[in-house]
Amino acid sequence: MIKLDPQILTKIQLGGLPDLRYYLQKAVELEHSTIPPYLTAMFSLKPGVNHTIATLIHSIVVEEMLHMTIAANILIAIGGRPEINKRGFIPEYPGPLPMNIGDLIVGIEAFSIPLVQNTFMAIEEPEDPIHIQPPPTFAAAAQPSYATIGQFYDAIEKKILDLGSDIFVTKTAPPQVVNHHWFPPSKLFPITGPEIACAAIEIIKTEGEGTSTSPFQSGHDPAHYYKFGEIVNGRRIVRTPNGGYAYAGEAVLFDPAGVWPLKPNCKIDQFKKGTQARTRIERFAYSYSTLLNSLHDTFNGHPERINAAISMMYDLRVFAVSLMETDALAGGGLTVGPSYEFVDTAGGMPG
Amino acid sequence: MSYLDSPRLHFRGWFQADVSTINNDVRFFQNASFVPEYQQLNQNDKGLIQNNWNPEGTGVFRFLDCAVTSLDGITVQNATARAPGKLVDLDPQQQMVSQIWGMQIRLVDAAGKTLVQGEYKPAAFTNLWLRQQDEGLPNDQQLAAVYQSVIEGVQWFDISRFPLLQSLQSATQAGQLSINFNVFGYSRNNMVPRYTMGHVVGTIGPYLQGEPKQFVRGRQFIYTGNWPVPAGGMGNMQAKVSSNGNTVTADFGNSFPIERANSGLKDIGQVFLGVLATNPPTILSTVSSGQVALIGEVPYCTGGWYDRTAGVVDFELNSNARQLIPANPLVVVSPAADGSYTVRLQETIDGQYMRADNFVYRIDPGQTQHIEFYADRFGAPIANATINLSVTQGFMGGAGGGKTVQPVTRPRAAIPAIATPADAVQWPTSVTADNQGHATAPIVASAEGPGTPRGYLSSQIYGIGYQLASQPAGYVSNPMNYVSILAYSKKEAPETPTWYRDIQYLFTQYGNLYPIMGRYVVNLADYHDVVRRISILELAFSLPIEEPDHMPVTRDLGAGDRATILKWLRSRGPDGLPPLGTPSQSPPVPPPIVDEQAEAALPELRPEQAAGKTAVLLNLEKRGRIAPFSQKGPSK
């Protein structure tokens, strides 16, 4: 579970508009920070096998992108400017996610059941997970003083309502990103006032954690925590006759042979200039940085550039292939994994 | 004005051309005979498809580690907020005019700030030659070439610290810049770090409105010998005399041989630029010291010269040379032991040179496009020049770059004849230039298009040869100077397109040839997978052709086919998905009209030769379309 410093809640409660903007920028960073680890796990699944798992992770990545977009739109709506193309925007992997003070360390690794169970489920864990039979083996240790992501978003909602419609700017803000080619109007809509901002935040909370009474965020679509639970337990969630829930549905098969054996937490500097590993990891990192640049433009006055950003997401998928096929020269047959360092120069060959 | 004018800046570094290789043989476009084995990486002669050296190529063309050598800390880079450019063959039966599409070019300062930014106008390489003398590593590409185009839509940011860029900004016109870059030392060997990469050395200079964009109106040197091996050991080049007649600027950037990919220029002894004392009616092989006025030595062996200058040299002319240069050919010579000079390169006979600026066209039925010709003699316009146009197949046709497929495709895929039907694309037999030596010739595609004479391809290719009516006897032309046209077949988007009738064939073909897409993004042969990715496919198929992520990346589908695909992606059946239709709707694929000569002449290639450009040349050689040339293969 991501644990925030309780002082953050106090700062939001007692602070004014600048603090609210500051923490919405943090929300953008937090929502983004889950994408690299999830994306890497998804990329590491070889085509043709583990299809259901890849589809489940893909659906979560898409929703994290939606959450990042919603947070950025709210920030824009209250006169802020999302800052996305800067070095500190991407957290250091392995490391804590933005604002987290708990001991959860998130790295960039190939897919594995323990990764999903110990890291991804921990990222998405609600404050009070609904008991699903059989329960996930993962157990959270009680910690005395921390705030949850849910509380963080609650505090933001409350502050927005407190400050009221005066903080919502119309003419001075760059346009929000409201593109229904990629997200339906029920999930992505213009943020024009306090109530609608709160409704949008509820989407983030529900898709991530579910509701307090159901693991499903809507229909039969489980929230992230429970989707990862389905992967770990090898079964989809179904309702039980007694009104509860069980991992007893359709099988979610995992074939361990269908995963690229990525060296964990690869960094550009670990590879010598002029090697295939180096040029390929640099190409990936440069492309990821390009994606962030295009997103920055998207959220700073050029919403139409969302198309270039989405295209880059698919390009990344393709660029990951040759990378993951490259020997990391680390022994054990490990291959090169992606790096999400912010890079502003295409390179990797000797001068 | 062009990159040969001042101010100019030079850069050097690396490029990546991550081209895919399955489409190097036209026969793999036939779906009915395609087997998954054709998608396997194969760097040798074992297996089904020889030297399929990069089946998972992405098509990406990009610069990396490119530094401006005349401005400390400045780099040349591609787009920073969108996808990199793509390198695209015109057609499997015309792989000798590959163009770069969607490439943004930026000059960036040491702090990562963009100083200048614009879009490379798609242009093909030319002046291919066997530049790398040593065989080098297995699968080294010994051939090299040059790209010249303009950068369009140039934006200038804060260049206040850079006087050179400021003067470039004031010298250039029409929001464009001229760019020229030489590519060499490329590797197709997946075991070496250079795999899919090579060296690039280039120049950026001003562009003047009204000038051609893909070559310089000036003095042109075309090598003799068995193309692509120059008799004089040096590749084609161009030069320009300044308007006051005091200076000549010559570009040796694609002219000096290299020993190996990373060796730098090969020492071939002293090399001078000179001007002949007369205007001979032939290309000379040696001249006496009295027949040539030396202009200056090319200091190509000086350390760092090539990186620093990209091979572009300014020579001051002495009074003798100044007098000779307006009416006599320039030469590149090396001293011989007996006091005479060996002529390595000579300006075209009588200084005559006429060229089509852009020489690659994609045309839809009913469309008209225009070729721009420029005719000069010793760099001065030939007013009212007559330009004759003719049918040519140039380096087109045949199987493409593939070796005999073992076993043959099942069912056998015929090698289509090209340029048929002849009347689907028309052009005048001659055009007349204006008083500035400029002429325009329309290319008109018939309203009905070519049909599908190639059967499994929905297009046809055509070639137009061109020459000056005044061209002297014995004139040595550049064999790459002809116009290549891809004429798309006509396709009317039906009222309700269905998967089986309108989409499946094209998507399956694309998925076969570009497995990087089919395996990792969307399985294009599978309706159910395709309809899961409607949004991204709709975006890619609706992007303008100039965008890097335009689909198809190969830019080989006509407007009709693309409109049909888009219409299908946007239509919804009762189940909320694009209509599937029924298998019985799948139209039969017509058999291609066969190129019997190509079928009969399929050469047996050594494995290291059976790849891309090299194989195209050997194919042409076998069919008697070019004279024999020897490319050394790896000794082991």
pLDDT tens digits, one per residue of B279-320: 999 999 999 999 999 999 999 999 999 999 999 999 999 999
pLDDT tens digits, one per residue of B600-627: 766 554 444 555 677 777 777 777 777 7
pLDDT at position B45 is 59
CA angle B611, B15, A320 (to 5 degrees): 80
pLDDT tier at B633, thresholds 50, 70, 90? very low
pLDDT tier at B496, thresholds 50, 70, 90? very high
Helix axes A194-209, A51-77, angle to 10 degrees: 160
Facing A349 at nearest CB: one of B112, B197, B540:
B197
Residues A189-195, mean pLDDT to the nearest whole number: 95
Residue A133 has pLDDT above 80, yes or no: no
Residues in chain A: 351
pLDDT tens digits, one per residue of A28-70: 999 999 999 999 999 999 988 999 999 999 999 999 999 999 9
Chain B contact for A113 (CB, 8 A cutoff): no
Identify the closest residue of chain B to A181 by CA–CA distance: B535
Task: Tell me how far apart the alpha carbons of residues B128 and B39 are, in angstroms, rounded to a whole number.
Answer: 28
pLDDT at position A142 is 42
User: In chain A, what percentage of residues exceed pLDDT 90?
Assistant: 78
Facing A318 at nearest CB: one of B63, B516, B540:
B516
Task: Tell me how far apart the alpha carbons of residues B7 and B3 are, in angstroms, rounded to a whole number.
Answer: 8
Residues 10-29 of B with CB under 8 A from A: 13-14, 16
Facing B521 at nearest CB: one of A289, A297, A314:
A314
What is the DSSP secondary structure assignment for residue B96, as one 8-state letter? S
B118 Cβ contact list (under 8 Å, min separation 6): B104, B105, B151, B152, B153, B154, B155, B175, B176, B177
Facing A290 at nearest CB: one of B67, B82, B539:
B82
ipTM for the assembly: 0.92
- Which of A49, A314, A324 to mutate: most B Cβ within 10 Å? A314
CB count in 10 Å sphere of residue B270: 13
In the CATH hierarchy, which fold is given to the domain comprising A6-258? Ferritin (1.20.1260)
Residues A201-220, mean pLDDT to the nearest whole number: 85
What is the DSSP secondary structure assignment for residue B458, as one 8-state letter? S
* Partners of B145 in the β-ladder: B183
Helix axes B559-570, B534-542, angle to 10 degrees: 150
- Of the candidates B454, B293, B358, which has an alpha carbon nearest to the alpha carbon of residue B149? B358
- Which of A276, A293, A310, A342 to mutate: most B Cβ within 10 Å? A276
pLDDT at position B143 is 97
Residue B533 has pLDDT above 60, yes or no: yes
Decide: A167 and A17 in contact? Cβ < 8 Å. yes
Domain spans in chain A, listed from the N-terminal domain onward: 6-258, 261-351
What are the C-alpha distances in Å from B161 to residues A21, B74, B308?
Answer: 36, 12, 21
Smallest Cα distance from B65 to chain A, Å: 5
Facing A347 at nearest CB: one of B64, B195, B535:
B64
pLDDT at position A159 is 97
Residues B352-365, mean pLDDT to the nearest whole number: 98
Decide: A237 and A222 in contact? Cβ < 8 Å. yes
Q: Compute chain B's Rg from CA coordinates.
A: 25
Decide: B582 and B496 in contact? Cβ < 8 Å. no
Chain A contact for B90 (CB, 8 A cutoff): no
pLDDT tier at A136, thresholds 50, 70, 90? very low
Identify the closest residue of chain A to B196 by CA–CA distance: A276
Identify the closest residue of chain B to A293 by CA–CA distance: B81
Identify the closest residue of chain A to B197 by CA–CA distance: A349
Bridging pattern class, strands B360-363 and B430-432:
unpaired
Chain A contact for B540 (CB, 8 A cutoff): yes
Task: Tell me how far apart the alpha carbons of residues A275 and A350 are, in angstroms, rounded to a whole number.
Answer: 9
Task: Tell me how far apart the alpha carbons of residues A22 and A78 are, in angstroms, rounded to a whole number.
Answer: 11
Contact across the interface for B13 and A305, Cβ inside 8 Å:
no
A336 Cβ contact list (under 8 Å, min separation 6): A262, A263, A266, A271, A277, A280, A281, A323, A324, A326, A327, A328
Phi/psi region, residue B515 (left: phi>0; alpha: psi -120 to 50; beta: rest), is alpha
B370 Cβ contact list (under 8 Å, min separation 6): B440, B441, B442, B443
